[in-house]
Every structure is written in C-alpha cells, then in structure tokens.
C-alpha cells in the first residue's frame, strides 16, 4: 500500500479509532476542510463529533483537559499545527502529564499523544519553525517520537496511541508529502526502537525526521562513488543508544548525527557521549550536523544556506572519509527553491 506520510497518519487514526473506542482526536482545525494537512480528514464523519472535534485556541487548558480525559479512561490525541504553539502548554505537559504517573506513586497513568508539527521554509519565520525537541526530550516521563517516514507515521502513531505514557509526536511539515510502501502493522513495534533503513559499511548516519530522506538521497549518490553508508532512522529521542546503533558503529566506526533541531545544547551531544560510553569513537570519527543556533528568519534570501540538506551530508561524509571530492558540482543542479519541500508547494502554509 503506497501512502503519503499524511495519509499514513490518517490511516493510523482510522485503525486506532476503530480498534479502541476510547481514542479521541482533537485539535485546532481537526474537522476543518484542510484536516490539518489532510491528516485528520474524514475522521469526524467516520467517528462522530464526540470523538473528533475542533477546539478553542486554548492550548494550555486543552492539554490539561487531555490529561483529565486520559485519567478518566480515554486516549486523546491532540494536534498542534505548529510546535511553537505548544509552548503555551508547557506547564501542563511538564508539571502535569509528564509527572502524573511518578508523583502519584504509579496510581495514575496518562495515555495522551500530542502531535506537534514543525514548520520550515516559505517564511515560517522565528515562531513557526522551531524544533524544540530538547524541551521535551529532557523531561523524564515524556517519550518523544519523531517519525522519519510514512511507515513510521503509521506504525509509530499507532504505537504511541497504545502507549500508557504521554507521547510527544513531532512531525516535520516537509515530510507530509513524502510517500512510501507501507505495512499497516505496528504490533511488534517497541516505541523506543530505532530502525536501520539502509545497511552500509563505511559510515553510520543517525538521521532524524526530515534528515532521513535527505540522508537517503546523499547515500544514493555516494553509492555511485563506492561509498557505503548505513542509515539509522533515529525516531525516538531516548538518550540511551539502542542496540542497532551500537552494532552499526562497531561495523562502520564512524558516525554522523543529522538533526533538524539547532546545534546549541542539541540532544545529539548527549547521545554522542552515551554512545562513547559503550564504544570507542575517536574525536575525528563523529560529527553532528544540526541547524544553526539562531532563530529562523523569514526572508527567502536569509534562509538560503540556512537549512541542512543532502549536500551538507555529502560534504560531511567526504570530510570524514578524507576524500577530496570533485564530483560535488554535479549534485548541485537542483532546481527546486530552498524554501519549499517540492514543486507541489505553492504557499502560503
């Protein structure tokens, strides 16, 4: 079954809501004609307006209301069209949802999923584009899921909805139209499991979110030149590296972390140290590719060279393998402008 990322989210909702009538879907625009970039389209018709509904612009209370619903036996999935809006609800997320299970000695648990969409490009600007994953990943009690593919969108959302713990589910806006062959299956998924999406022997890339397709693009180019890249889809922000990562690094002994968040105090730094506690990596054997630690400007001209893409990955691989590349030119013939995910995008949102 070939689905876009958006369609996969939608399908996950349908399947989850069919299999468990306690699952609810709410958020600004959840029932509107655009259905949150088509991820919630049609759900109200299928499951009724008691289970699928629009909400007031009250991010803070709504988050606490979801907590209340969850301890009252429901499984709400709340969607924010931008992560930035969820900053209004950090008290409820950190002081309530994340702590509930712990601070009542296990008496309660809080099965909520909060989807947050991360914007990029087309003038999203400083308050519509922040990937503040570190705000959430650093809070014990939360699990932070950041799907990188349409398959993840489906299986990780299903697993998140079934999780008894609060989940922050970060969707990159530029992934919504990416598509792939999908198995409508999630039963075996450990929500903290990373996934190896491409095997290789020269270098390991831990790619998060939208950096996954960019990494794959880079790896495919590198393959032509005899460089074999292993790609791990780093799709859950847990600081303990899982086995796939350790196994991969034992083989390749070289690591690039490619992240869509900013460099400063990036979670990647913790990850590197935790990896190095398990396996030796010389200081020239790993590197972190992350966004600059500045707000995202709005102007088309100012975002030029602001985002990371497959070319940055190519350059980094060359550098780490100590290869003087003369074929990089060939790959810079892109015609798509840097501030849109593809020609299909015509603005404004």
Ligand X SMILES: Cc1ncc(C[n+]2csc(CCOP(=O)(O)OP(=O)(O)O)c2C)c(N)n1
Residues with catalytic function: 59, 128
Answer yes or no whether residue 88 interacts with a copy of itself by CB under 8 A: yes
DSSP element (H, E) containing 249? helix 243-252
Cα 269 to Cα 3: distance, rounded to the nearest angstrom: 34
Strands 195-198, 229-233: pairing is antiparallel
Tell which one of 1, 246, 294, 321 touches other proteins (CB under 8 A).
Answer: 294
Nearest position to ligand X, beta carbon: 85
132 binds ligand X (CB under 6 A): no
Binding residue for a copy of itself, selected from 225, 265, 327, 349, defined by CB under 8 A? 265
Q: 255: left (phi > 0), else alpha (psi -120 to 50), else beta?
A: beta
Q: Which of 293, 341, 284, 339 is nearest to 316 (CA)?
A: 284
Give me the half-sphere count of Cα atoms (radius 13 Å) on the Cβ side of residue 348.
Answer: 0
Which tokens in the block code for residue 2?
């070939």
Q: What does 266 interact with, of a copy of itself, other proteins, ligand X, none (CB < 5 to 8 A by kind)?
A: a copy of itself
Question: Is the Cβ–Cβ distance between 226 and 186 less than 8 Å?
Answer: no
The single residue among 2, 280, 324, 346 that binds other proteins, judged by CB under 8 A, is 346
103 binds other proteins (CB under 8 A): yes
Residue 325 near other proteins by CB under 8 A: no
Site pattern 9..48 for ligand X (x: CB under 6 A)? -------------------x--------------------
On whether the CB atoms of residues 262 and 290 are closer than 8 A, the answer is yes
Q: Is 71 in the site for a copy of itself (CB under 8 A)?
A: no
Cβ proximity to a copy of itself: between 49 and 95 the closer is: 95
Q: Where would I find the beta strands (DSSP E) of the chain?
A: 2-4, 23-27, 52-53, 75-80, 113-118, 143-145, 167-172, 179-181, 195-198, 203-207, 229-233, 255-262, 286-291
Q: Name which of ligand X, other proteins, a copy of itself, none residue 122 binds, using a CB cut-off of 5 to 8 Å depending on partner kind.
A: other proteins
Q: For residues 71 and 78, what is the distance between their CA atoms, to the nearest angstrom?
A: 15
Among 17-25, 81-89, 135-143, 264-272, which window interacts with ligand X (CB under 6 A)? 81-89
Q: Strands of 113-118's sheet, edge to edge?
A: 52-53, 23-27, 75-80, 113-118, 167-172, 143-145
Binding footprint of ligand X, residue count (CB under 6 A): 6
Window 203 to 262, contacts with other proteins (CB under 8 A): none
Q: Report how far residue 253's alpha carbon sits from residue 77's, in angstroms, rounded to the nearest whole number.
A: 40
Q: Which is nearer to other proteins, 37 or 286 (CB)?
A: 37
Site for a copy of itself in 119-138 (CB under 8 A): 125-127, 130, 132, 134-135, 137-138
Binding site for ligand X (CB under 6 A): 28, 57, 59, 81, 85, 88
Binding site for a copy of itself (CB under 8 A): 60, 84, 87-88, 90-91, 94-95, 98-99, 102-103, 125-127, 130, 132, 134-135, 137-138, 140-141, 239, 262, 264-267, 269-270, 272-273, 276, 280, 283, 288, 293-295, 297-298
């Amino acid at each position: 079954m070939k689905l876009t990322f958006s369609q996969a989210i939608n399908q996950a909702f349908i399947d989850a809501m069919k299999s468990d009538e306690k699952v609810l879907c709410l958020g600004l625009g959840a029932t509107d004609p655009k259905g949150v970039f088509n991820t919630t389209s049609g759900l109200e018709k299928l499951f009724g307006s008691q289970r699928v509904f629009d909400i007031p612009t009250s991010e803070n209370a709504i988050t606490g209301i979801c907590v209340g619903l969850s301890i009252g036996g429901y499984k709400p999935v709340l969607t924010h069209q931008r992560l930035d809006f969820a900053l209004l609800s950090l008290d409820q997320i950190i002081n309530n949802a994340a702590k509930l299970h712990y601070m009542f000695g296990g008496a309660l648990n809080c099965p909520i999923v909060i989807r947050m969409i991360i914007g990029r490009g087309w003038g999203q600007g400083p308050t519509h584009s922040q990937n503040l994953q570190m705000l959430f990943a650093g809070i014990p009690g939360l699990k932070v899921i950041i799907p990188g593919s349409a398959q993840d969108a489906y299986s990780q959302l299903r697993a998140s909805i079934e999780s008894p713990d609060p989940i922050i589910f970060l969707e990159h806006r530029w992934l919504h139209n990416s598509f792939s062959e999908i198995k409508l299956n999630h039963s075996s998924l450990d929500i903290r499991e990373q996934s190896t999406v491409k095997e290789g022997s020269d270098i390991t890339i831990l790619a998060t979110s939208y950096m996954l397709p960019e990494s794959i693009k880079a790896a495919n180019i590198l393959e032509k030149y005899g460089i074999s890249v292993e790609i791990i889809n780093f799709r859950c922000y847990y600081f303990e590296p899982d086995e796939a990562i350790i196994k991969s690094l034992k083989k390749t002994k070289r690591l690039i972390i490619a992240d869509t968040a900013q460099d400063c105090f990036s979670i990647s730094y913790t990850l590197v140290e935790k990896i190095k506690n398990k396996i030796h990596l010389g200081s020239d054997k790993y590197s972190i590719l992350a966004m600059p630690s500045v707000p995202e400007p709005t102007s088309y001209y100012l975002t030029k060279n602001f985002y990371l893409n497959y070319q940055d990955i190519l350059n980094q691989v060359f550098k780490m393998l100590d290869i003087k590349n003369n074929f990089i030119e060939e790959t810079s013939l892109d015609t798509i402008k840097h501030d849109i995910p593809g020609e299909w995008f015509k603005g404004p949102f």
